[in-house]
Amino acid sequence: MMKFIRKRSANAKNDILSGLTVALALVPEAVAFAFVAGVDPLVGLYAAFMVGLITSAFGGRPGMISGATGALAVVMVSLVSRGNAMGAEGENMGLYYLFLTVILMGAIQMLVGAFKLGKFVRLIPHPVMMGFVNGLAIVIFLSQLGMFKTVVNGEKQWLMGEKLYLMLGLVALTMAIMYFLPKLYKRLPEALIAILVVSGIAIGFGLDVSTVGSFIREGGGEGISGGLPTFQLAIFEKIPFTWETLKFIGPYAIILAAIGLIESLMTLNLVDELTETRGSSNRECLAQGGANIVTGLFGGMGGCAMIGQSIINIKSGGRGRLSGIVAALALLMFILFAAGLIEKVPIAALVGVMFMVVIGTFAWSSFRILNKIPLSDAIVLISVSALTVVFDLAIAVMAGIVMSALVFAWESAKRIRARKHLKEDGTKVYEIWGPLFFGSVKAFNSKFDIQGDPAKVEIDFIESRVADHSALEALYNLVEKYEAAGKQLTIRHLSEECQRLMMKASPKLGKRNQLVRLLIEKGISSKSVLKAIGKIPRHLFIDSSFEEFAYQDKPFPIAAGQTISQPYTVAFQSELLAVKAGDKVLDVGTGSGYQAAVLHEMGVKVFSIERQKELFDHTRNLMRKLGYTFHMKYGDGYKGMPSQAPFDGIVVTAGAPYIPKPLVEQLKPGGRLVIPVGQNVQKMKVLTKQNDGRLVQKEYGEFRFVPLLEDKNG
Do residues 263 and 125 both lie within one domain? yes
626 and 456 Cβ atoms separated by less than 8 Å: yes
- Domain-ending residue, one of 343, 365, 393: 343
pLDDT band at 298 (very low <50, low <70, confident <90, very high): very high
Pairing of strands 428-436, 417-422: antiparallel
Q: Determine the 3-state secondary structure of 606 from DSSP.
A: strand
Number of domains in the chain: 3
Phi, psi of 696 (to 5 degrees): -105, 120
H-helix or E-strand spanning residue 461: strand 456-466
Q: Which residues are designated catalytic?
A: 565
Do residues 620 and 698 both lie within one domain? yes
- Domain-ending residue, one of 316, 343, 370: 343
Q: What is the DSSP string of 381-422?
A: HHHHHHHHHHS-HHHHHHHHHHHHHHHHHHHHHTT-EEEEEE
Residue 569 lies in a domain: yes
Residue 545 lies in a domain: no
Which comes out higher in pLDDT, residue 176 or 235? 176
Nearest one of 192, 178, 187, 177 to 20, comparing CA atoms: 192
What number is the average pLDDT over the span 345-371?
Answer: 87
Residue 355 lies in a domain: no
pTM of structure: 0.63
pLDDT reported for residue 1: 39
pLDDT band at 8 (very low <50, low <70, confident <90, very high): low
H-helix or E-strand spanning residue 457: strand 456-466
pLDDT reported for residue 508: 57
What number is the average pLDDT over the span 553-565?
Answer: 85
What number is the average pLDDT over the span 627-651?
Answer: 91
**Residue 543 clears pLDDT 60, i.e. is over it:** yes
Residue 520 lies in a domain: no
Do residues 488 and 615 both lie within one domain? no
Please write the tens of the pLDDT for every residue from 221-257.
Answer: 777 888 999 999 888 888 988 999 999 999 999 989 9
Nearest one of 505, 476, 500 to 489, comparing CA atoms: 476
What number is the average pLDDT over the span 315-333?
Answer: 93
Task: Provide the 8-state DSSP code for 655.
Answer: B
Nearest one of 220, 258, 308, 313 to 72, comparing CA atoms: 258
Do residues 339 and 452 both lie within one domain? no
Do residues 497 and 582 both lie within one domain? no
Strand partners for 697: 687
Do residues 37 and 142 both lie within one domain? yes
Do residues 449 and 568 both lie within one domain? no
pLDDT band at 192 (very low <50, low <70, confident <90, very high): confident
pLDDT band at 507 (very low <50, low <70, confident <90, very high): low
Residue 252 lies in a domain: yes
Rounded Cα gap, residues 156 and 191, in angstroms: 29
What number is the average pLDDT over the span 674-686?
Answer: 90
**Residue 2 clears pLDDT 50, i.e. is over it:** no
pLDDT reported for residue 3: 45
Q: What is the DSSP string of 525-591?
A: --HHHHHHHHHS-GGGGS-GGGGGGTTSS--EE-GGG-EEPPHHHHHHHHHHH---TT-EEEEE--T
Weakest-pLDDT range from 1-10, 421-430, 511-520, 666-675: 1-10
Give the whole-number percent of the chain exceeding pLDDT 90. Answer: 43
Alpha-carbon torsion (132, 278, 289, 111), positive or negative: positive
pLDDT band at 714 (very low <50, low <70, confident <90, very high): very low
- Domain-ending residue, one of 301, 321, 343: 343
What number is the average pLDDT over the span 40-53?
Answer: 94
What number is the average pLDDT over the span 644-668?
Answer: 92
Rounded Cα gap, residues 319 and 275, in angstroms: 8
348 and 174 Cβ atoms separated by less than 8 Å: yes
Rounded Cα gap, residues 414 and 494, in angstroms: 21
Residue 513 lies in a domain: no
pLDDT reported for residue 594: 92
Weakest-pLDDT range from 1-10, 236-245, 375-384, 465-474: 1-10
What number is the average pLDDT over the span 580-585?
Answer: 92
**Residue 349 clears pLDDT 50, i.e. is over it:** yes
Do residues 421 and 303 both lie within one domain? no
Do residues 484 and 565 both lie within one domain? no
Rounded Cα gap, residues 665 and 640, in angstroms: 10
Rounded Cα gap, residues 328 and 335, in angstroms: 11
Chain centroid to Cα 188, Å, comes to 44
pLDDT reported for residue 661: 92
Rounded Cα gap, residues 701 and 681, in angstroms: 10
Alpha-carbon torsion (540, 545, 550, 553), positive or negative: negative
Rounded Cα gap, residues 326 and 258, in angstroms: 28
Q: Which of 45-54, 408-417, 559-568, 690-699 has the highest mean pLDDT?
A: 45-54
Residue 385 lies in a domain: no
**Residue 162 clears pLDDT 70, i.e. is over it:** yes
Strand partners for 433: 417, 463
- Give whole-number Cα distances, 453 to 161, 420, 433, 477, 574, in Å: 85, 11, 20, 16, 31
Rounded Cα gap, residues 302 and 286, in angstroms: 14
551 and 539 Cβ atoms separated by less than 8 Å: yes
Do residues 145 and 279 both lie within one domain? yes
pLDDT band at 126 (very low <50, low <70, confident <90, very high): confident
Pairing of strands 556-557, 488-492: unpaired
> Which residues form the domain of 470?
417-505
CATH of the domain at 687: 3.40.50.150
pLDDT reported for residue 710: 65
Residue 168 lies in a domain: no
Do residues 327 and 260 both lie within one domain? yes
Give the whole-number percent of the chain exceeding pLDDT 70. Answer: 96
Rounded Cα gap, residues 208 and 145, in angstroms: 19
562 and 612 Cβ atoms separated by less than 8 Å: yes
**Residue 713 clears pLDDT 50, i.e. is over it:** no
Do residues 452 and 575 both lie within one domain? no
- Return contacts of 600-604, CB within 8 angstroms, 24+ apart: 600/628, 600/630, 601/531, 601/532, 601/535, 601/536, 602/528, 602/529, 602/531, 602/532, 602/574, 603/528, 604/579, 604/649
Averaged pLDDT score across all residues of the chain: 87
What number is the average pLDDT over the span 96-113?
Answer: 96
CATH of the domain at 433: 3.30.750.24
pLDDT reported for residue 5: 42
Q: Which alpha helices (DSSP H) does 38-150 contain, by range?
A: 41-58, 70-85, 93-114, 126-145
Sheet with 695-703, edge to edge strand ranges: 631-634, 605-610, 584-588, 647-652, 667-677, 682-689, 695-703
**Residue 473 clears pLDDT 60, i.e. is over it:** yes
189 and 317 Cβ atoms separated by less than 8 Å: yes
516 and 526 Cβ atoms separated by less than 8 Å: no
Q: What angle do CA 516, 520, 523 make, to 5 degrees?
A: 140
Backbone region of residue 695 per phi and psi (left: phi > 0; alpha: psi in -120 to 50; beta: other values): beta
Task: Provide the 8-state DSSP code for 346.
Answer: B
Residue 662 preceded by cis peptide, ω within 30: no
**Residue 603 clears pLDDT 50, i.e. is over it:** yes
